[in-house]
């Protein structure tokens, strides 16, 4: 049997890449609508063509700072004659985007601690609770012992939703009555995970407007309390962002990061927007890895982020 090659990695053979391409189709159409001019347009290699690339990147919400960085590099490569034709420019653009995203990527290793505590934050409507359920399903399917903690006590629906995920998967969910102190729920959840020798415990949190100072102070308290149960926990603080709000997600990310020192990003609803390029912008602005991306409603549509496959899915038909 032939070994998988770089041109035919196992993810593509399993359908991973095809589902990624389908999920990113709106962003790809937005981006490549302008990029197509690299191959099929009338503009010659030079300023006019670079301007078209710049416009396409901005329309995909790659953002002004990151777009400018890409354009400056393209212009430099053209001046130095390292880019000689349209195909070369397209290839260089792809490689630059991969390189930008890979700069901040870190390997996910939940075996370093037991239990591995994942604190999940984000505003209401970002897909936070659903993301937790999908992560739990993923890790349960991998044979890990997973527990959920329903720390969003201000929304009864969030607690019930998390309990439904736990029941569906067949795992435990620590919960208190509606309106209970979120820190107390987090404390009990992590303590229970330690006692039951869980591999992973995922802690949900409230998600009112990120401009609410009380919310940020509350989340800081939750994080401190978790650390009282396990001195080095939480081991990963994930911020869930909604891709459909585009550049507005940057202000959310910045405020959460300043308050909580986020470890990684989860970008949801990429299948519902043409502005998926914002993921590149946020990663660059905050120097944070993208951990997972959501490209559909099914549990398996929450995929581990891989920079090369992401960029290829944006460019390939």
pLDDT tens by residue, 164-196: 999 999 999 999 988 889 999 999 999 999 999
pLDDT of residue 257: 94
Cα separation, 203 vs 237, in Å, equals 10
pLDDT of residue 38: 58
Looking at per-residue pLDDT, the higher value among 24 and 293 belongs to 293
DSSP string, 196-231: TT-SEEEE------TT-HHHHHHHHHHHHHHHHHST
The mean-pLDDT minimum among 79-93, 143-157, 300-314 falls in 79-93
Q: State pTM to two decimals.
A: 0.89
Mean model confidence pLDDT for the chain: 87
Q: In 3-state terms, what secondary structure has residue 239?
A: strand
Mean pLDDT of 264-286: 89
Mean pLDDT of 293-303: 89
The mean-pLDDT minimum among 48-62, 192-206, 281-295 falls in 48-62
Whether residue 5 is predicted with pLDDT greater than 80 in this model: the reply is: no
> pLDDT-based confidence at 21, cuts 50/70/90?
confident
């Amino acid at each position: 049997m032939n070994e998988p090659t770089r041109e035919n990695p196992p993810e593509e053979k399993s359908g991973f890449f095809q589902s990624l391409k389908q999920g990113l189709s709106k962003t790809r159409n937005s981006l490549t609508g302008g990029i197509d001019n690299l191959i099929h347009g009338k503009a010659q290699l030079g300023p006019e063509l670079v301007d078209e690339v710049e416009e396409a990147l901005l329309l995909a919400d790659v953002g002004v700072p990151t777009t400018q960085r890409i354009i400056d590099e393209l212009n430099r490569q053209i001046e130095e004659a390292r880019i000689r034709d349209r195909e070369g420019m397209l290839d260089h653009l792809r490689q630059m985007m991969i390189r930008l995203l890979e700069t901040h990527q870190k390997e996910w290793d939940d075996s370093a601690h037991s239990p591995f505590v994942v604190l999940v934050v984000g505003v209401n409507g970002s897909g936070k609770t659903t993301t937790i359920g999908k992560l739990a399903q993923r890790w349960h399917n991998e044979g890990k012992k997973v527990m959920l903690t329903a720390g969003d006590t201000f929304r009864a629906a969030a607690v019930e939703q998390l309990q439904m995920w736990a029941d569906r998967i067949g795992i435990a969910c620590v919960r208190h009555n509606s309106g209970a102190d979120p820190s107390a729920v987090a404390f009990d959840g992590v303590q229970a995970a330690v006692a039951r020798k869980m591999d992973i415990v995922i802690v949900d949190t409230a998600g009112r407007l990120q401009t609410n100072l009380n919310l940020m102070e509350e989340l800081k308290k939750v994080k401190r309390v978790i650390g009282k149960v396990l001195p080095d926990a939480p081991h990963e603080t994930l911020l869930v962002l909604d891709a459909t709000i585009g550049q507005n997600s940057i202000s959310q990310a910045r405020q959460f990061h300043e308050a909580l020192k986020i470890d990684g990003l989860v970008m949801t609803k990429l299948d519902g927007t043409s502005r998926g390029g914002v993921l590149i912008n946020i990663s660059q602005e905050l120097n944070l890895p993208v951990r997972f991306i959501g490209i559909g409603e099914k549990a398996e549509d929450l995929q581990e982020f891989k920079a090369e496959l992401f960029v290829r899915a944006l460019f390939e038909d």
